[in-house]
Amino acid sequence: MTGGTDEAGREAAEADEKRPMTAGADEAGQINATVRMILIMIYSGYRISAWKGMETRLEEAVFIGGVKTDAGKNRMVPIHSCTLDFVKEMKGEYLCGKSESQFRRDMMKALKILGIRTLTPHSCRHTFHRLLERAGVNETDRKRLMGHSLKTDITNGTYGHRGIEELRAEIEKIKVNVGILPDQ
Spatial contact of 147 and 69, defined as CB atoms under 8 Å apart: yes
Provide Rg for the chain, Cα atoms.
22
Element (H, E) at 87: helix 84-90
Q: In this predicted structure, what is the pLDDT of residue 108?
A: 94
Domains with residue ranges and CATH for the chain: 27-171 (1.10.443.10)
Q: In this predicted structure, what is the pLDDT of residue 152?
A: 63
Report pLDDT digits (tens) over 70-122.
655 678 899 999 999 999 998 888 888 899 999 999 999 999 998 998 899 99
Report pLDDT digits (tens) over 18-45.
433 334 667 777 788 999 999 999 999 9
Pairing assessment for the beta strands 75-78 and 55-57 based on DSSP bridges: unpaired
pTM beyond 0.95: the answer is: no
Spatial contact of 145 and 77, defined as CB atoms under 8 Å apart: yes
Torsion sign, CA atoms 40, 43, 48, 54: negative
